[in-house]
Amino acid sequence: MYTSMRNLTLLAGSLALVTTLSAQKLSYTPANPDSYPYPSVTTDKQGRKINVDGAILQKQQVTVKETYKSPISGKNHNFGTKATKEQIKAWNTDVRPDGKGLPDGQMSVEEGAKVFAAKCATCHGDFGEGVDRFPVLAGGIGTLKLHPKTGGDPGPLKTLGSYAPYIAPFFWYIQTAMPLSAPKSLSDSEVYGILGYLLQLNEIQVNGADIEDETIVNRKFIKAVHLPNENGFEYNNLRKPDTHNTRCMKDCIDTSKMVVMHIKTDATIVKPPFGDGRYSFDDEKKKPAGDIGKTIYENTCAGCHDSGIAGAPKFGDKADWAHVQKQSLKVTLEHAIKGFNAMPPKGGDASIKDEDIKSTVEYMLKKSK
Ligand code: HEC
Ligand code: HEC
């Protein structure tokens, strides 16, 4: 919204409709004192009405020309002036998945890489690897299947290459939002070059060929790109709600039957040095003893044991647990605490106390006979 407004102002400025004044020259007399801290319309020293961004309000902007009769209220509503072609163009900057909206312009991947190094690499890394916690822009293809809890190192990595279904909308995104500190500063050609470089980093092939440094990136090229996850999203059931109720239009709620829902108390592990590694409950006193096993199971063990990943005995599956039930609890506990083949010590969380592992194992054994 903000950028669009700026756009309009800039555009209007170029059409000599609006004069922009520097903020220091203005004396703010809020038209509406309630609109503090940003009065929408103020007056400058010459008594001209100005917008909050310093643009002088022109007659054209306040004259109401278009009216619209509401079919519901039967009343006339005023809609200001009809948007001009240029105004619509300034707002309509999005680029669709099929490439509609891509502008003219072109740049080689090599040139794009230079722009990226100069304007993007401080945050996203020279090769899109991401600096600190700034988004990673390359790699991760094939990792979406990995479950974060299995330690499937490092779990799914969602990047423009691995996760995004289409590349064309990134044209709009990058031009509108990046670089973070100077959005809208890149030329159309620069964005093309950068997109080419990002695709090259992601090892995307276009028309069956690798992207070379000399590859020229333009509208036609971007339209030919297919990302690996293009079919990874489902659109076909958007219009089919999965409920089969008859729609209720009148007296829908019988308040006498209303049930108040409570959110289950959450548990978080408080790790040293701030805690002793035990789970802390908001409402510990109300928790029946023994629940700690269930909580730890759900937080730390379920990732593998719910589905039986890597040969983990499946929770609740009697046959899977038969051999464990037979052996002594001492041996089982030792396995759970010290690790056993693909079973990591304490399920990977060394901060859990031995006695709590015991509660967890007992819970798992009880539920799997
Ligand atoms: C000052 C740091 C900074 C700079 C410089 C910067 N970015 Fe970003 N970039 C970010 C941050 C932060 C986000 C996440 C924004 C969000 O999620 O709202 C981001 C997000 C992105 C994304 C979306 C990533 C995704 O997976 O959704 C792309 C693409 C991107 N930037 C490209 C660029 C390009 C190209 C440049 C250079 C022209 C650039 N960035 C410069 C900080 C930066
Ligand atoms: C990364 C996956 C993973 C996680 C997380 C995990 N387990 Fe396991 N667990 C395994 C696997 C795999 C086995 C089977 C090892 C074997 O029999 O070779 C196993 C086996 C076990 C066994 C049977 C040991 C035996 O003697 O045969 C117990 C008990 C157990 N896990 C408890 C836990 C507890 C308690 C937690 C959570 C604190 C946990 N596991 C978390 C993978 C996992």
User: pLDDT tens digits for 291-331?
Assistant: 789 989 988 898 889 888 778 999 999 999 999 999 999 99
Determine what percent of the chain is predicted with pLDDT higher than 90: 42
* 42: region left, alpha or beta (phi > 0 left; psi from -120 to 50 alpha): beta
Mean local confidence (pLDDT), 236-257: 70
Ligand with smallest separation from the Cα of 170: 1
Pocket test for ligand 1, best of 119, 180, 195 (most atoms within 8 A of CB): 180
Per the CB < 8 A criterion, the answer to whether 35 and 22 are in contact is no
Burial 30-39 (b: 16+ CB within 10 A, else e): eeeeeeeeeb
Angstrom distances, CA of residue 66 to CA of 51, 59, 69, 229: 22, 15, 10, 45
What is the C-alpha separation between 41 and 35, in angstroms, rounded? Answer: 9
Q: How far apart are CA 189 and CA 194, in angstroms?
A: 9
Mean pLDDT of all residues in 343-368: 91
- What local confidence, expressed as pLDDT, does residue 366 receive? 93
- 2-30 mean pLDDT: 35
**Does the Cβ of 293 fall within 6 Å of ligand 1?**
no
Residue 290 has pLDDT above 60, yes or no: no
In 3D, which of 98, 102, 6 has the Cα closest to residue 55?
Answer: 6
**Integer Cα distance of 218 and 207 in angstroms:** 14
Confidence at residue 61, expressed as pLDDT on a 0 to 100 scale: 44
Q: CA separation (Å) from 353 to 169, 216, 277, 282, 324?
A: 49, 60, 7, 19, 21
CB neighbours of residue 292 within 10 Å: 22
Q: What pLDDT does residue 17 have?
A: 28
Please tell me the distance from the alpha carbon of residue 134 to that of residue 129, in angstroms, as a whole number: 9
pLDDT of 351 strictly over 80: yes
* pLDDT attached to residue 57: 56
Structure tokens given for 86: 């240029």
Position 76: which residue type? N
**Confidence at 151, pLDDT banded by 50, 70, 90:** low
Q: Which of 3, 15, 189, 225 is nearest to 111 (CA)?
A: 189
Name the closest-CA residue to atom 6, ligand 1: 179
Q: Does residue 329's CB lie within 6 angstroms of at least one atom of ligand 2?
A: no
Comparing CA positions, the residue from 75, 58, 232 lying closest to residue 144 is: 232
Is the C-beta atom of 122 inside 6 A of ligand 1? yes
- CB of 112 shorter than 6 A to ligand 1: no
Q: How many CB atoms lie within 10 A of CB 128?
A: 22
User: Which of ligand 1's atoms lies nearest the C-alpha of 198?
Assistant: 35
Examine the pLDDT at 163 and tell me if it is beyond 70: yes
Q: Which ligand is nearest to the CA of 364?
A: 2
Quick one: which ligand is closest to 352's CA? Answer: 2
The residue ranking higher by pLDDT, 363 or 70, is 363
For the chain, the average pLDDT equals: 77
In contact, 95 and 171? CB cutoff 8 Å: yes
Report the amino acid identity of residue 5.
M
> How far, in Å, from the CA of 348 to the mean position of ligand 2?
10
What is the CA(104)–ligand 1 centre distance, in A? 23
* Residue 150, pLDDT above cutoff 70: no
pLDDT score recorded for residue 285: 42
For residue 10, pLDDT over 90 is answered with no
pLDDT exceeds cutoff 70 at 119: yes
**Ligand 1 contact via 225 beta carbon (within 6 Å):** no
Q: What confidence score (pLDDT) does residue 300 get?
A: 87
Closest-lying ligand 1 atom to the alpha carbon of residue 179 = 41
**pLDDT at residue 42, rounded to an integer:** 65
CA-based R_g, the chain, Å: 30
pLDDT tens for each residue of 164-210: 999 999 999 999 999 988 888 999 999 999 999 999 999 999 999 99
Cβ-based burial of 103 (10 A; exposed 0-12, middle 13-18, buried ≥19): middle
pLDDT greater than 60 at residue 88 = yes
Q: What angle do CA 267, 154, 118 make, to 5 degrees?
A: 115
